[in-house]
Amino acid sequence: MASLEGLTEAQIDELRQVLRQRQDADGVQRLIMAPMAEQGSCPRCQSSRKVKHGTEFGAQCFRCKDCGKTFTATTGTPFHRLRNKSNLLENAACIADGLSVRKTAARLGFSVQKTFRWRHRFLDFLDQQKPSALAGIVAVDETFFPVSYKGQRKSMPRTPKKRGGKAKDGAGTEKTAVVVAVQRGTQVVFDQVLERTTGADLTEALRPVLGTDAVLSTDGNAAYWTVAEDLQVESGYFVSQYHGKGGHGPGHVQSVNRYDSSLKPWMTRFRGVATKYLANYLGWRRLLDRFKDQLTPE
């Protein structure tokens, strides 16, 4: 403690950085071990009979006494066999702030390639966290994104396009359809990337989402009549051309339009998202929209 008096400003900053990393590493270790302390079961056979079995990348390993397999507290999660775990909280803070890959890489001190791998390792997990059994009035609509082969170097189905320029509106082979469902009065959102927007495709996408007491609220797309009939749910629709402006009444789709209108500007910060990664970014946006300022790195 006495030697702290002689430190320069640069040394103080370096010391502060080391202490913060140590604190983050301890916090990450506590967060990772918390599920093991609560459940303590083998992720493969769910047996609670286990013994300690060395360490792996600094994490405690266990061996199941029933199936004989070894596991850690991170087995089956995006954290499994991940190095630099001390940077997890800082990386999570970048996700909560919605930062681009390059800005995240600068904050973490990683290469752009490593940061990109980390990003989609976690966003792929977020994409799997979708709501089910939506109840009440559920507003549903489609939105479209340009087909993008960003990052692809081989086997391109068409010649590469130059950067810049506005994408043409409407559907077609150069557009990717996304169906979005919002449970009215909540921040619960479901979305799914579709190859086509036929009644059959929309039905299969919405089948695990809509509860038996849900009421579909859509625009004038007749495909949703097929969805309501196949899933045996009530439905209503609103078309401003016939019903007037504003969308007043139970049949409006303002909630899903609100979500779509905020989704597109949020996507522009990434300067184009490859279609194969589009679902991951949709899961990221669902997380931010649902928790807003209450989202913490932990």
pLDDT at residue 255 is higher than 90: no
Task: Give me the helices (H) in 4-111, please.
Answer: 9-38, 88-97, 101-108
Confidence of residue 168 (pLDDT cuts 50, 70, 90): low
pLDDT at residue 291 is higher than 70: yes
Q: How far apart are CA 69 and CA 43, in angstroms?
A: 10
Cα distances from 295 to residues 52, 98, 149, in angstroms, run: 34, 11, 31
- Flag whether 298 is in a domain: no
Lookup: tokens for 29: 């270790």
pLDDT at residue 39 is higher than 80: no
Identify the pLDDT of residue 286: 92
Confidence of residue 205 (pLDDT cuts 50, 70, 90): very high
Determine whether 3 is exposed, middle or buried from the number of CB atoms within 10 Å of its CB (0-12, 13-18, 19+): exposed
- Flag whether 282 is in a domain: yes
Q: Is 6 in the same domain as 151? A: no
- Flag whether 44 is in a domain: yes
Instruction: Tell me which of 69, 101, 128 is where a domain ends.
Output: 128
Q: How far apart are CA 207 and CA 154, in angstroms?
A: 36
Identify the pLDDT of residue 29: 64
pLDDT at residue 164 is higher than 60: no
Q: Are 171 and 178 in contact (CB under 8 A)?
A: no
Identify the pLDDT of residue 74: 76
Phi and psi angles of residue 145, each rounded to the nearest 5 degrees, phi first: -125, 145
Q: Is 94 in the same domain as 74? A: no
Q: What is the mean predicted confidence (pLDDT) over 13-42?
A: 70
Give the pTM: 0.76
108 alpha-carbon distance from chain centroid: 20
Q: Is 212 in the same domain as 286? A: yes
Q: What is the mean predicted confidence (pLDDT) over 42-71?
A: 83
Q: Is 260 in the same domain as 204? A: yes
Q: Is 120 in the same domain as 143? A: no
Domain that holds residue 61: 1-83
Task: Give me the helices (H) in 190-275, please.
Answer: 199-206, 223-231, 240-243, 254-267
Q: What is the mean predicted confidence (pLDDT) over 152-170?
A: 69
Average pLDDT, the chain: 83
Q: How many domains does the chain have?
A: 3
More confident residue, 278 or 245: 278
Lookup: tokens for 170: 């409407």
Q: Is 71 in the same domain as 91? A: no
More confident residue, 251 or 208: 208
Q: What is the mean predicted confidence (pLDDT) over 89-95?
A: 89
Q: Is 74 in the same domain as 115? A: no
84 alpha-carbon distance from chain centroid: 22
Q: Is 236 in the same domain as 112? A: no
